[in-house]
Every structure is written in C-alpha cells, then in structure tokens.
Amino acid sequence: MAAIEISVRTNVREFERGLNDWVRKQIPFATVQSLNAMAWESRGAVQDAMRSDFDNPVPRTINSVRVGKATKQSLRATVWIDDEPNKGIPPEKWLSAEILGGPRHHKRFERALQARGLMPSGTYAVPGAGAPLDASGNIPGSFLVQLLSYLAAFGEQGYRANMTDKRRKRLHNIVVSEKGYKKIAGVAYFVSKGTGRNLHLPAGIYSKTGTHGSDIKPVIRFVRIPSYVERLPFGQIVEQRVKSRFDEILSEQFARAIASAKR
C-alpha cells in the first residue's frame, strides 16, 4: 500500500514575486511547517474514520497511521499505514482489505493451523460462542497461543512451545465420581473439520468440559468470508483534507513564521 504524499505544487516563484528578501527567507520554513501540520491533521482524519467505520478498533489499529515529516530539502510529507512487522503481522496487511477491498490476509494463527492440516484451505478463523474476548471484542493472544500449543500447531522452530501430554492432562484435570463417571474438571480442546464422525459439528475448534466431556462449546469457527468492500478510503480521506485545509494552514504558518522572525 503506497504512502500518500503531501507536497507543494504551487509556483513558488509566482508566490515570491513582490515580496522583499526578508519575507522571502521565511517561505521554506513556513512551507515545511505547513506540510507537517497538514500531514498530522490528515493522520487525525484517518484515525477519526477508523473509529467511526470500524467496530471498536484496537489501539494498534488506530496508531498504525504513520507520518513522514517534510524537510527544507524534500518539501514533502507522507502519510501511510505501518508496514513494519515488529510483533506479528504489520497493520498494513490486515487493513489492506478494508482500504482496498478484497479478501483479508490470513493471520499467523490461521497459517499455523493450516500448516498443521487443522484448518481447511480458503477458510478464516472467527470467534465462537465459547471464546474468551477482550474489551475490543477480539480473542486474546494468550488464548490463541494456548490453543496452538495444545494442538501442537507450532512449527519446527517453535516445537518446544507445543504442549506435552503431561501438560494436557493437567489442563484436563480429569476426576472420577463415586459412580465411576469421568469428568473433565478443567478443559480439553478438539478440532472438527465438518466431515466424518463429527459431521454434526461445523468446522472449527471446540472446548469440552463436564461429565465425559459432554459440555461442548465452539471457541473458533472456520468460515468462508466473502471479499471485503472498501470501508476506509484512505487516499480519498487525505486528499479531501488537504484540498479543504492546506491553503488555510499555509497562511497560518506563514504568518507565524514572519511574526517569529520579527521577535
């Protein structure tokens, strides 16, 4: 996803005509200040659109809008969506479907399940009725890690993170009643691919607890999601804000530069 560039397209020589040398010297500084102010204001406009158009977006999504500052040499500021991986998938990847439309990229959790053969190709993971959710309505990363570990879905590089049989038994915490019934006092997980013996269960990951594991709840559902429609016209938001505000900001910054230089 390309960065949106904000630059000065006016004929500076025409603008300079009629100005004395002292005033003319303030133009580069005022221009840089204007470009940077415009970039930060455009960032705010995109963030406002995210809060309005997205369902309870997490802070990382809101803070993914980046600004590249202008200098006297470049006379160009940029606004873009963070494309650095850092921890996990870069925001640009999961937001591209919202900005450009089309299918979203698979998350690391989904790719791990597919590599293990647990999640059908062409499907996506969404929270089930039994999934824990954070304040933003998303499944906590710690729970997803526990599922991958339980299902031994970490690859060769992370195989040490896969849960041992001993740890699974502790998680199950199976107890036997006086009548000899086995009860899962903790929790166990299993995968249904929507075929074979578990045909009655839609594809997904399920938890089971209680006597003989009879209390079954879906924690992850595997679904086929249609292509996204464009919900965040990123470039259009920035362009409209620049058209409506840049001349005003340039005048403000130019006046400030002159006032500051006089002091």
DSSP code per residue over 79-136? EEE----SSSS-HHHHHHHHHH-BPPPPPHHHHHHHHTT-S-TT-EEEE-TT----TT
217, β-bridge pairs: 207
pTM over 0.85: no
Domain boundaries, the chain: 4-102+227-262, 108-223
Element housing 41 (H / E): helix 27-53
Q: Give one DSSP letter per residue of 123-139, joined into a string.
A: -EEEE-TT----TTSS-
Helices 108-115 and 141-150, interaxial angle, to 10°?
A: 10
Q: What is the pLDDT along the chain (263 residues), one digit of tens a residue?
A: 567 888 876 545 555 665 666 667 778 888 899 999 999 999 999 999 999 888 888 888 999 999 999 998 999 999 999 888 666 678 887 788 777 777 777 888 999 999 999 999 889 999 999 999 988 788 998 999 999 999 999 876 655 788 999 999 999 999 988 888 899 999 999 999 886 655 678 999 999 999 988 899 999 999 987 566 677 889 999 999 999 999 899 888 888 887 876 65
Separation of alpha carbons 18 and 167, rounded Å: 80
